[in-house]
């Protein structure tokens, strides 16, 4: 999984979350802050393009408050991604399953 791809997925999820939950057309300050934080974490990820999804990662480099926020976004937008961005969602799902299998073998 490329960092760029995960960045795109996360951005879509945060935008979807903000649009539906906060009723904003553009990202509100809170969500924008979250997106910037995620981008920062991704750009510092020690795994580079070998990384798994943050949700599968063992390191958990997010600080607790941001971790809670992103979890909430994932919970909300995860199932909805299938509806709004089906191709990306299915791809993401496949990658997640593949990674889980890979990790399970170790
Ligand atoms: Zn928002």
Going from the Cα of 18 to the center of ligand 1, the distance in angstroms, rounded, reads 4
Q: Which residue has 């539906």 as its token pair?
A: 20
Going from the Cα of 96 to the center of ligand 1, the distance in angstroms, rounded, reads 26
Query: How far apart are the C-alpha atoms of 71 and 32, rounded to whole Å?
Result: 15
Residues 12 and 88 sit within 8 Å (Cβ to Cβ): yes
Going from the Cα of 10 to the center of ligand 1, the distance in angstroms, rounded, reads 14
Average pLDDT, the chain: 87
Mean pLDDT of 53-77: 85
Going from the Cα of 6 to the center of ligand 1, the distance in angstroms, rounded, reads 20
Mean pLDDT of 13-38: 94
Mean pLDDT of 44-57: 74
DSSP 57: -
pLDDT of residue 11 exceeding 60: yes
> What does residue 92 show for φ and ψ, rounded to 5 degrees?
-60, -45
Going from the Cα of 99 to the center of ligand 1, the distance in angstroms, rounded, reads 30
What is the tens place of the pLDDT at every residue in 32-48?
Answer: 999 999 999 988 887 77
3-state secondary structure of 45: coil
Q: Indicate the pTM of the whole model.
A: 0.83
Going from the Cα of 89 to the center of ligand 1, the distance in angstroms, rounded, reads 21
Distances (CA, A) of 39 to 1, 66, 90, 97, 103: 15, 12, 22, 23, 24
Between these two residues, 2 and 28, which has the higher pLDDT value?
28
Between these two residues, 54 and 22, which has the higher pLDDT value?
22
Contacts of 76 (CB under 8 A, 6+ apart): 16, 17, 20, 21
């Amino acid at each position: 999984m490329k960092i760029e791809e995960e960045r795109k997925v996360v951005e879509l999820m945060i935008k979807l979350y903000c649009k539906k939950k906060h009723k904003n057309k553009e990202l509100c300050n809170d969500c924008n802050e979250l997106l910037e934080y995620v981008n920062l974490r991704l750009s510092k990820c020690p795994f580079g393009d070998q990384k798994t999804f943050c949700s599968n990662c063992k390191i958990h480099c997010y600080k607790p408050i941001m971790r809670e926020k992103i979890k909430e976004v994932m919970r909300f937008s995860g199932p909805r991604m299938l509806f709004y961005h089906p191709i990306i969602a299915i791809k993401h799902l496949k990658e997640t399953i593949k990674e889980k299998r890979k990790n399970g073998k170790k």
